[in-house]
Amino acid sequence: MSRVAVLGGGSFGRALAIQAARVGRNVILWSRAAREAPPGNVRTTTNLAEIAEAELVFVAAPSIHVEALAREAGQHLDGSHLLVHVSRGLLGDELTPLTHVLRSVTPCRRVGVLAGPLVAHALAQGEPGGGIVGSLFPEVVESVREAIGGPMLRIYGTHDVVGVEIASAMVGLFALAIGYAQGRGFGPATTAILATRGMAEAARVGLACGAVERTFSGLAGFGDLLAAVAGDARPESAFGRVLAEGVPLADAAARAGAFVEGAAIAAHVTAFAQRRDLEAPISAGLAAILSGTASGATVLGQLMSRPTRGE
């Protein structure tokens, strides 16, 4: 692999570029505004046409911007390029995966998603860790492994693309919920039940979308959520804790320091679950808190008073 391109000059895009350069790749880091190049063999650019030089292109942008960016980038790409996004988002009430968007608006057909317990600061510092690539194409998994994998970063692969995307998005949602609970002063028992019942909820949603259940107990699901619970300083957790202080939604997002995907999909997951007659009480409760239609105390009471059944 001669070059790797990263679309997005935010913290995670820069961390990807740093990691790729660390393992010996030539990296093109694109952003709309001129930015200082990170350390290593990284070339920054604002010229989108330059990404055509790379074989593998990472899309490191919030989900709400992915379609427009991919459509623009697609003018410089063809079927020889591999396209992998790193967003934790889903689009609309049908929970459209972003790999579907990439295939729809670009000439690229070999696409994938990178997920798992990866956060910007740890990736940039080269801390030991791992991630998972969901793709129907083995060469996509292998290319990501070659691009960023190394002695300190293990990259796994799966064909369950939908499962990886649903799991990753809903981990963001539950990391926000757990951050909110911690901000309210609740302890490990609350965290444990939110994490375990949250992933059961995610698996129900995923199965309805055609995912494989075991994906939700792997790196894309429970492994990722475990990192959030352990305190990996991701924006979703910080957003939840700030929100628990009673800070308005817009101010909480600003204090979290990044776009928070989980806040955007709570209502979409709730609407999807209602149409499919699925139980998604944590998603629904969080959507109510975020929309201002219910207080945290009301949602907690509703969750704790639900009928209990076998696990």
Does 152 score more than 90 pLDDT?
yes
Q: Which of 62-71, 88-97, 133-142, 256-265 has the lowest mean pLDDT?
A: 256-265
DSSP string, 57-125: EEE-S-HHHHHHHHHHHGGG--TT-EEEE-----BTTTTB-HHHHHHHHSS---EEEEESS--HHHHHH
User: Is residue 62 located within the same domain as residue 76?
Assistant: yes
User: Which pLDDT tens digit goes with each residue over 222-279?
Assistant: 999 999 999 888 888 888 998 898 888 778 877 876 667 777 789 999 999 999 999 9
User: Is residue 177 located within the same domain as residue 244?
Assistant: yes
User: Which pLDDT tens digit goes with each residue over 14-34?
Assistant: 999 999 999 999 999 999 999
Does 37 score more than 60 pLDDT?
yes
* The last residue of a domain, from among 138, 159, 180: 159
Asked whether residue 309 is domain-assigned, the answer is no
Asked whether residue 35 is domain-assigned, the answer is yes
pLDDT in the model for residue 257: 67
Asked whether residue 311 is domain-assigned, the answer is no
pLDDT in the model for residue 274: 96
Asked whether residue 117 is domain-assigned, the answer is yes
* The last residue of a domain, from among 142, 159, 176: 159
User: Is residue 13 located within the same domain as residue 153?
Assistant: yes
pLDDT in the model for residue 258: 63
User: Is residue 257 located within the same domain as residue 283?
Assistant: yes
3-class SS string, 235-277: HHHHHHHHHHCCCCHHHHHHHHCCCCHHHHHHHHHHHHHHHCC
The domain spanning residue 119 has which CATH number? Answer: 3.40.50.720
User: Is residue 105 located within the same domain as residue 172?
Assistant: no
Asked whether residue 104 is domain-assigned, the answer is yes
User: Is residue 168 located within the same domain as residue 152?
Assistant: no
Q: Domain count for the chain, please give it.
A: 2
What pTM does this model have? 0.94
User: Is residue 183 located within the same domain as residue 126?
Assistant: no
User: Which pLDDT tens digit goes with each residue over 114-123?
Assistant: 999 999 999 9
Q: Phi and psi dihedrals of 5, rounded to 5?
A: -115, 145
User: Is residue 67 located within the same domain as residue 34?
Assistant: yes
Domain extent at residue 54: 3-159
Q: What is the mean pLDDT of residues 190-200?
A: 94
Report the relative pairing of strands 153-158 and 3-7 from DSSP bridges. Answer: unpaired
Higher pLDDT, 253 or 180: 180
